[in-house]
Structure 1
Amino acid sequence: MANKIFMILTFIGVPLSVIGTLMHWPSIMLFIVYCLTIIALASFMGRATESLAIVTGPRIGGLLNATFGNAVELIISIFALKAGLVGVVLASLTGSVLGNLLLVAGLSFFVGGIKYKRQHFNVYDARHNSALLMFAVIVAFVIPEVFSMDMNDTATLNLSVGVSIILIALYLAALFFKLVTHRGVYQSNSENGTAHHDEEPEWSKGKAIMILLAATVAVAYVAENLVHTFEAVGESFGWSELFIGVIIVAIVGNAAEHASAIIMAYKNKMDVAVEIAVGSTLQVAMFVAPLLVLVSLLFETTMPLVFSMPEMISMAVSVLLMISIANDGETNWFEGLTLLGAYVIMGIGFYLL
């Protein structure tokens, strides 16, 4: 039923997005059309990566889901940078971290926990990711903020570029570590083929890849136009750039992994669900954010890796809460509800800020 709804939304939303853009419809109407279209396209990306996850295993599948899910936000952020909306981009990065660790993981644990009293996932993965989360979000994001207090803008940007290069190098090294040199250490039963050996993918490998590429191209077009509606929509609803970035852009931009992680948890595939939520956060912090810093050098307005105090503290608290809950390798619905409660509290804070 949901797939049919998303299919209808896609086939209606994409033409409406083109027509509305050419005919200059009101910004609020276009904003709604663009958001619904991106969410519908993201559902196709989620189904395609779920098919690939069955073929390639939970770890590669989770990585693919996080990558293509973050591709949507990366595209939106690049167009926002081009438009000089640095505050929206930084806020959307914050929203991605909060959304993945609190909203996506929270909903996954809650929905899965209603069906199963206890759900388990690879505890070694959880502990490995905990250290990376601590480094990527708390160390790499806090250091530029602290040093920037006694630096001029040029020095702050140079520091951000240096930190960004190190983050990208470490992210690539982390992938090599988990997928190549230490793959056996972090291999789960499901990856050995014992858990889902009888499951057939919805689409073939080739068809899934083609759908992923086509959906990404369509999202790129819609996202570019979505960015141009932010200012008018913010003025109409009284939303700040911070709220638009942290809540609206983050939810729309990460719709693919939101849906996929919840579906995986409901099917008791917690290795994939956690890999999507945590892996996506790591990718945002260690690859997407630093890449945007480097990309901003090509535009008139550059983006240093310096967040506001509310953004930085919210991300740090989210990391610590997620580590506390997930480090034992099992979850339940109440732990999911705790993460969701934290997300709502922070969302209220950003709305009123």
Structure 2
Amino acid sequence: MNKVFLILVLVGVPLSVIGSLMHWSNVILFIIYCVTIIALASFMGRATESLAIVAGPSIGGLLNATFGNAVELIISIFALKAGLVGVVLASLTGSVLGNLLLVAGLSFFVGGIKYKRQSFNVYDARHNSGLLMFGVIVAFVIPEIFSKTMSETRTLSFSVGISIILITLYLAALFFKLVTHRGVYQSEKEKSHHHNDEVAEWGKGKAIAVLALATLAVAYISENLVHTFQAVGETFGWSELFIGVVIVAIVGNAAEHASAILMAYKNKMDIAVEIAVGSTLQVAMFVAPLLVLISLMFPTAMPLVFTLPELISMVTAALLMIIISNDGETNWFEGATLLAAYLIMGIGFYLL
């Protein structure tokens, strides 16, 4: 599999450059860009995994989520620059739905076929539930409701205020988990075989170099990818909303999708859940507010106001995930339930 990705990167990156210089058809370019980004993301995934083994599981999960979201953050910044606010909000929605329903669903399903029951840290699950309620429900629903009676300028100021609070709380949550309460909520089993039964694939230096190069390549290709959206949408009859919610979200999160499912298959549910839920929290409490602040530098600023279908889908996904994960155990049927919810929403966005 790794060889396939290596070939895709070695072929895809030059093709992306040549294709954009020679103005190939947008649909062909769109496919080349998407495949290349997914291949590059797999290298980012392997590099973060190597760093994670050196740094330990909590920081490892955080690194995975951060670099998993880096691709999406980069695509979104270029989309904002191009004035595609709708696509960016839709891709944030897609990322929340993708992580909570598709990634977690596939992880629980694949892991559950191999093992009858899988368990993960119940304290983490409860801690994350509170943050999910806050990040998705409080931070996204409130601006939507208040904006109904506000002028555009005020809505934007309100969004900026909320963004600063969200980022602050997100950093506090990390400080809580990695510094003040580190290890407080670990079970004895986790503490005892805490360290390394695993060997990192790459050394620290190589992993950092691969990460840096892959991130640069992703940034270059993402900028070009954004310019193909309109033509591709017209060709296939996809709405801006569908491109954002399904396509950008899946391409932007492909690497972490794969690593979460792999972890579940290896029965490392703590990491799989950390990637799926940790990533969602990072999108809701860090990536989305950061994009609101970044958008102030561009001609079209982005308020934190989603459409009603986006909002209701995210709230439903968050509640479903909280109810399913709160007992700290999963099985294949719970995975199937999450996947079914994702399909229902996907069809909805396609037909909108």
Aligned to 2:278: 279
Q: 1:65 touches 1:257 (CA, 8 Å); kept in 2?
A: yes
Matches within 5 A, 1:167-206: 167-188=166-187, 192=191, 194=193, 197-206=196-205
Aligned to 1:335: 334
Higher mean C-alpha displacement, 79-88 vs 114-123: 114-123
Counterpart CA distance in 1 for 2:81 and 2:185 is: 40
Aligned to 2:287: 288
Q: 1:58 touches 1:191 (CA, 8 Å); kept in 2?
A: no
Higher mean C-alpha displacement, 72-81 vs 53-62: 53-62
1:309 correspondence with 2:308: yes
1:61 correspondence with 2:71: no
| Paired amino acid for 1:71 | A
| Paired amino acid for 1:210 | A
Deviation at 1:186, TM superposition (A): 2.8
Change in CA separation of 1:189 and 1:214 when aligned onto 2, cut-off 3 Å: farther
Aligned to 1:141: 140
Counterpart CA distance in 2 for 1:306 and 1:165 is: 15
| Paired amino acid for 2:138 | V
1:31 correspondence with 2:30: yes
Q: 1:59 touches 1:271 (CA, 8 Å); kept in 2?
A: no
CA deviation string 1:237-260 (max 9, x = no partner): 000000000000000001111011
Deviation at 1:55, TM superposition (A): 2.0
Deviation at 1:195, TM superposition (A): 6.0
Counterpart CA distance in 2 for 1:197 and 1:166 is: 37
Q: 1:137 touches 1:319 (CA, 8 Å); kept in 2?
A: yes
CA deviation string 1:119-153 (max 9, x = no partner): 11110000000000000100010010000000110
| Paired amino acid for 1:44 | F
- Structure 2 unaligned segments of length 5 or more: list them: none
**What is the aligned-residue identity percentage?**
81
| Paired amino acid for 2:273 | V
Counterpart CA distance in 2 for 1:251 and 1:122 is: 27
Deviation at 1:160, TM superposition (A): 0.3
| Paired amino acid for 1:318 | A
| Paired amino acid for 1:241 | E
CA deviation string 1:199-235 (max 9, x = no partner): 2121122222221111111100010000000000000
Q: 1:59 touches 1:191 (CA, 8 Å); kept in 2?
A: no
Matches within 5 A, 1:220-231: 220-231=219-230
Change in CA separation of 1:283 and 1:135 when aligned onto 2, cut-off 3 Å: same
CA deviation string 1:2-31 (max 9, x = no partner): 111111111100010001011110000000
- The number of residues matched between the two structures is 352
Aligned residue for 2:168, secondary structure, equals helix
Counterpart CA distance in 2 for 1:241 and 1:59 is: 36
CA deviation string 1:311-345 (max 9, x = no partner): 00000000000011111111111111111110011
Deviation at 1:193, TM superposition (A): 6.0
Matches within 5 A, 1:1-353: 2-188=1-187, 192=191, 194=193, 197-353=196-352
Change in CA separation of 1:168 and 1:195 when aligned onto 2, cut-off 3 Å: closer
Change in CA separation of 1:69 and 1:177 when aligned onto 2, cut-off 3 Å: same
RMSD across aligned C-alpha pairs, in angstroms? Answer: 1.2
TM-score between both structures, scaled by the size of structure 1: 0.98
Aligned residue for 2:306, secondary structure, equals coil
Counterpart CA distance in 2 for 1:139 and 1:335 is: 26
